[in-house]
């Protein structure tokens, strides 16, 4: 077979020694066209065929800082060798693998030459080549270039890779939410125009723009000035954001994450040292405690519990203040607007609907602050590392952990970026299983529902109940994943490597910016999507109005009461008003739908009003709270006497702890919101998976809700 093999590697990795061992005297030295950098080419005979070997300049990276790096990269992207053999020093893997990671991100057809294993052994270092090969997904061949040991095995691996002809799937490393979003945005634009198609994969080009690689930027400006300018603008915005929040720049962050990936790789038992080393990184010392097999999970549970205590303790009074503001607005509108549809729309549709969601902004804000601290400090990555062992039991991949966390694994995320985070998974089956189970996490949209029910029925054990809800969502997601991976999404598991970034002390400025950005997204959603849905639901809950005969009957009852001298006249008038409001709500479109569903949902403890709220939740989960607020406010007649939604539910005879737990369970598991469904369709590539998610999740949610309600009633929770 004839093939071109490129040798790449760090200076002093033994690359030139290997080149000489392979080619002997059949080599020549020359300059790369247009530059003064020296290159070597030679011919190697192997099993009846001739292999062309090119010794590329030694380099630590593929970022175009030096001419050597430019030459190496141009050869790889322009000449496209059949195989790239990356020569790494076995005694210094962490530094040497930095280049290997970049070659994998390029999608280069790679074979790893683990060189100088004898020197490493003399230093008490043993490298498990098989485990390294499994985790990286490339062949790793131990060699001693100066003696020729491993030569034939290395060439055999190179020939197999060349004959394969399929190339390599580019490695995808997560660089954090901010950079990942920027990369995804640029990647889509690059692909749509086949921008710099010969320079490498779209994601790799996006990374070069983020690293401000001068050569790639120049080529991009010449090839498509308009697109290049738009990519530069994305880089400018994310660079400014990272500078403000993390006091660093994209290039440094990318480098840190690559080394974090390598560091995590080496922690998987790849390297064994026979002699203790005195030096140890600070992050390593912390990790010996925080990621310990026994202590690590306990610390994690304490951290989550502490986060919930912080959230509930310091949000209680601000939530009451905000609720008071909206109650005052409701009284103000009732006093100044004429009785009729306009007052009903403003008070019941807008103020009670949207206000019910915005009342929980203080709670959401504190939750986002806590999550931002854990994320910016680097601890969330350790959580993912520890949970990998658990995830593999249920047929998921370690990288699924971050998708779960982003989606609300620690309550307060969002399912949409959680679904998108599954892109980092190589296996299509594990990616699909992750996409379908991510919506089970407790996103920020579900928090108001939980907060209302906890305040109404479990105020004495708020943190414990919220912690239990978190455990239930994780357990449900993992069991659903196991079911899916055992039935409709069968397939083998793939190895996991989790990048562990170094610990950082988060800056107050960065925490505040991250917290405000996420909270503002929540507020904007309440002012747009939720407002629109609240108005639509108000209309469905108002029209058609009661017939004239029904209205006349209530008027006659009022007249009779007013004509009497009863001392309980006010109470009787209020009872008539409530009866009229309830009759009107039942007569409406939403009331009829909710009533029809009640024949089934009563097994889970849901009445017709709850059914209306849950239907609204298909649009956005926050709407469950706003719709309940609207439904119950339509029955109120005295704003001075009406408390918050939690108080209303707590005093309503149709509600109890069994109903509350049933609704909590249903909210955790039922169909994703409409935006998440669209995202699932886009990421999974088919509408059938979006439909499956809606039907499967809702069926699971209802079955569990029925079990919980019936068990609760049997145990006396009613």
Q: Is residue 574 part of a domain?
A: no
Tokens of 41: 């080419």
Where does a domain end: 244, 273, 302?
A: 273
Same domain, 232 and 291: no
What's the burial of 680, exposed, middle or buried (CB within 10 Å: 0-12/13-18/19+)?
Answer: buried
Q: Is residue 565 part of a domain?
A: no
Same domain, 502 and 387: yes
Tally the domains of the chain: 3
Spatial CA neighbour of 145 closest among 116, 123, 110: 116
DSSP-H helix ranges across 211-274: 214-223, 225-246, 250-266
Residues with Cβ within 8 Å of residue 75, at least 6 apart in sequence: 6, 32, 39, 54, 56, 81
Same domain, 155 and 188: no
Where does a domain end: 273, 292, 322?
A: 273
Same domain, 597 and 654: yes
429-443 in b/e burial notation, b at 16+ Cβ within 10 A?
bbbbbbbbbbbbbbb
Distance CA 601, CA 610 (A): 9
Same domain, 202 and 136: no
Angle between helices 589-601 and 608-616 in degrees, nearest 10 = 110
Spatial CA neighbour of 441 closest among 404, 388, 466: 404
Measure the CA dihedral 400/405/407/410, to 10°: 150
What are the distances in angstroms from CA 694 to CA 485, 561, 604, 712?
18, 50, 19, 26
Same domain, 364 and 480: yes
Which 8-state DSSP code applies to residue 35?
A: S
Same domain, 239 and 155: no
CATH number at residue 56: 3.40.50.300
Distance CA 187, CA 195 (A): 10
Q: Is residue 561 part of a domain?
A: no
83, containing H or E segment: strand 83-89
Residue pair 255/227 in contact (Cβ under 8 Å)? The answer is no
Tokens of 102: 């970049």
Q: Is the dihedral of CA 554, 631, 311, 505 positive or negative?
A: negative
DSSP string for residues in 549-613: HHHHHHHHHHHHHHHS--TTHHHHHHHHHHHHHHHHHHHSHHHHHHHHHHHHHGGGT--HHHHHH
Angle between helices 151-164 and 15-23 in degrees, nearest 10 = 90
Q: Is residue 171 part of a domain?
A: no
433: domain range?
Answer: 281-544+588-718
Ramachandran region, residue 505 (left: φ > 0; alpha: ψ -120 to 50; beta: rest): beta
Cα Rg, the chain, nearest whole Å: 31
Tokens of 694: 């809606």
Residues in the chain where the model's pLDDT stays below 50: 31-36, 277-280, 635-642
Same domain, 382 and 480: yes
Tokens of 58: 């030694």
Distance CA 607, CA 602 (A): 6
Same domain, 318 and 449: yes
Residues with Cβ within 8 Å of residue 704, at least 6 apart in sequence: 476, 665, 666, 669
- Our separate counts of H helices and E strands in the chain read 33, 9
CATH number at residue 237: 1.10.287.1770
Determine phi and psi for 141, rounding to 5 degrees: -120, 115
Tokens of 303: 């951290």
DSSP-H helix ranges across 247-350: 250-266, 282-290, 295-336, 341-344
Distance CA 478, CA 621 (A): 22
Where does a domain end: 221, 250, 273?
A: 273
What is the structure's pLDDT at 639?
38
What is the structure's pLDDT at 84?
95
Q: Is residue 581 part of a domain?
A: no
Say whether 221 sits in a helix, a strand or coil.
helix
Q: Is residue 494 part of a domain?
A: yes
Which 8-state DSSP code applies to residue 422?
A: G
What are the distances in angstroms from CA 609 to CA 115, 158, 586, 594?
70, 67, 9, 6
141, containing H or E segment: strand 139-142
Distance CA 540, CA 608 (A): 13
Tokens of 281: 């990184």
Residue tagged 């109470």 (tokens)? 571
Q: Is residue 579 part of a domain?
A: no
Residue pair 388/498 in contact (Cβ under 8 Å)? The answer is yes
Same domain, 237 and 378: no
Same domain, 145 and 207: no
DSSP-H helix ranges across 361-414: 361-377, 379-393, 400-404
Residues with Cβ within 8 Å of residue 280, at least 6 apart in sequence: none
Distance CA 196, CA 205 (A): 8
Same domain, 201 and 152: no
Residues with Cβ within 8 Å of residue 218, at least 6 apart in sequence: none
Q: Is residue 172 part of a domain?
A: no
Say whether 192 sits in a helix, a strand or coil.
helix
Spatial CA neighbour of 640 closest among 556, 715, 570: 570
Distance CA 249, CA 33 (A): 34
């Amino acid at each position: 077979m004839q093939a071109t093999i490129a040798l790449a590697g760090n200076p002093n990795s033994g690359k030139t020694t290997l080149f000489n061992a392979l080619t002997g005297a059949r080599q020549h030295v020359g300059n790369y066209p247009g530059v003064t950098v020296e290159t070597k080419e030679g011919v190697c005979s192997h099993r009846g065929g001739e292999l062309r070997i090119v010794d590329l300049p030694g380099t630590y990276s593929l970022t175009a800082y030096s001419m050597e790096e430019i030459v190496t990269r141009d050869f790889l992207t322009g000449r496209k060798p059949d195989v790239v053999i990356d020569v790494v020093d076995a005694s210094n893997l962490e530094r040497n693998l930095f280049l290997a990671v970049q070659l994998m991100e390029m999608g280069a057809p790679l074979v790893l030459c683990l060189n100088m294993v004898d020197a490493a052994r003399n230093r008490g270092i043993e490298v498990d080549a098989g485990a390294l090969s499994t985790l990286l997904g490339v062949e790793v061949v131990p060699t001693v270039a100066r003696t020729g040991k491993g030569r034939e095995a290395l060439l055999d691996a190179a020939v197999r890779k060349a004959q394969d002809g399929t190339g390599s799937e580019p490695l995808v490393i997560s660089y954090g939410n901010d950079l990942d979003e920027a990369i995804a945005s640029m990647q889509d634009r690059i692909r749509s125009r086949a921008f710099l198609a010969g320079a490498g994969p779209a994601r790799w080009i996006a990374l070069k723009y983020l690293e401000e690689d001068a050569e790639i930027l120049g080529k991009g400006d010449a090839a498509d000035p308009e697109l290049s300018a738009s990519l530069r603008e994305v880089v400018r915005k994310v660079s400014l954001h990272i500078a403000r929040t993390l006091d660093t720049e994209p290039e440094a962050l990318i480098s840190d994450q690559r080394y974090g990936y390598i560091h995590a790789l080496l922690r998987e038992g790849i390297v064994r040292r026979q002699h203790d080393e005195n030096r140890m990184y600070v992050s390593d010392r912390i990790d010996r405690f925080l990621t310990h097999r026994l202590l690590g999970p306990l610390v994690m549970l304490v951290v989550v519990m502490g986060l919930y205590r912080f959230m509930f303790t310091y949000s209680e009074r601000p939530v009451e203040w905000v609720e008071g503001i909206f109650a005052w607005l409701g009284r103000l509108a009732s006093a100044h607007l004429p009785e009729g549809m306009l007052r009903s729309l403003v008070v019941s549709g807008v103020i009670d609907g949207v206000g019910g969601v915005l009342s929980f902004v203080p709670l959401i804000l504190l939750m986002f602050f806590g999550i931002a601290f854990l994320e910016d400090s680097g601890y969330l990555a350790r959580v993912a590392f520890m949970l990998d062992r658990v995830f593999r039991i249920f047929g998921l991949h370690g990288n699924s952990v971050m998708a779960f966390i982003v989606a609300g694994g620690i309550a307060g995320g969002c399912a949409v970026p959680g679904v998108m985070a599954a892109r980092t998974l190589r296996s299509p089956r594990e990616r699909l299983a992750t996409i379908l189970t991510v919506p089970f996490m407790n996103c920020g949209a579900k928090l108001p529902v939980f907060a209302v029910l906890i305040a109404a029925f479990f105020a004495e054990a708020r943190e414990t109940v919220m912690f239990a809800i978190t455990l239930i969502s994780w357990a449900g997601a993992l069991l659903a994943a196991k079911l899916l991976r055992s039935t409709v999404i069968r397939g083998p598991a793939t190895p996991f490597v989790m990048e562990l970034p170094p610990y950082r002390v988060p800056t107050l400025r960065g925490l505040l910016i991250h917290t405000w950005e996420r909270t503002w997204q929540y507020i904007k959603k309440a002012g747009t999507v939720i407002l629109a849905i609240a108005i639509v639901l108000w209309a469905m809950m108002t029209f058609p109005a009661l017939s004239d005969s029904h209205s006349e009957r209530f008027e006659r009852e009022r007249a009779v009461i007013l004509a009497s001298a009863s001392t309980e006249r006010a109470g009787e008038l209020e009872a008539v008003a409530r009866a009229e409001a309830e009759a009107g709500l039942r007569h409406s479109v939403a009331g009829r739908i909710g009533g029809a569903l009640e024949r089934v949902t009563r097994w889970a403890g849901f009445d017709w009003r709850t059914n209306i709220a849950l239907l609204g939740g298909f649009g956005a989960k926050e709407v469950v709270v706003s719709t309940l607020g609207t439904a119950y406010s339509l029955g109120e007649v005295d704003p001075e006497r009406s408390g918050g939604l939690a108080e209303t539910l707590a005093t309503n005879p149709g509600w109890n702890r069994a109903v509350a737990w049933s609704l909590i369970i249903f909210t955790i598991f039922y169909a994703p919101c409409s935006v998440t469904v669209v995202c699932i369709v886009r990421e999974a590539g088919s509408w059938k998976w979006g439909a499956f998610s809606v039907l499967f999740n809702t069926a699971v949610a209802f079955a569990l809700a029925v079990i919980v309600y019936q068990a609760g009633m049997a145990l006396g929770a009613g």
